[in-house]
Amino acid sequence: MLYVITGPPAAGKSSYIQSHAKAADIVIDMDLMALAMSGPGADHHNHSDVLLAIVQRARFAAIREATQHLDTTDVYLIQTLPTAKHRAEYRRLKAKLVTIDPGRDIVMRRIEAMRQPAMKAVATKWYKANRGRPREAMPQASWEW
């Protein structure tokens, strides 16, 4: 099964995966991949443009390969804001979409405390894109297409 974990920055997407994925599952998390490809002492959420370009290509390859094994392996994929094209592909793959959203105020406080200021713009974009979704489908909830 493919689980697509979405939500604004600092919502708890990685924490959700840590509490749900098993050791044999595949986890595709841009931040973890960047950290794995960084030198010692790298910041968990602050990466160079060069590193991000490399990680993005590796991420696409990992997704492509992982989706070939969904019959035997659970895959957890973090994607903050899937495009319509991505959503269509995930629907085709019968993915389960899990939205993590503890609320805008909490997210913005977490960003101030733990992330780069630019992540506030990403969170704002996420909330604008998800305006109109039923609130009961948002906080720490799962929903399927």
In this structure, what DSSP letter does residue 26 have?
Answer: E
pLDDT given for residue 117 in this prediction: 87
Q: What angle do CA 82, 120, 53 make, to 5 degrees?
A: 55
Write down the pTM of the prediction: 0.86
pLDDT given for residue 79 in this prediction: 95
- Where the chain has pLDDT below 50, the residues are 135-145
Residue 131 sits at φ, ψ, to 5 deg, of -60, 135
pLDDT given for residue 44 in this prediction: 67
Task: Give me the helices (H) in the chain, please.
Answer: 13-20, 30-36, 49-66, 84-92, 104-114, 119-129
pLDDT given for residue 136 in this prediction: 43
CA distance linking residue 62 with residue 115, whole number of Å:
26
Domains of the chain (ranges plus CATH)?
2-144 (3.40.50.300)
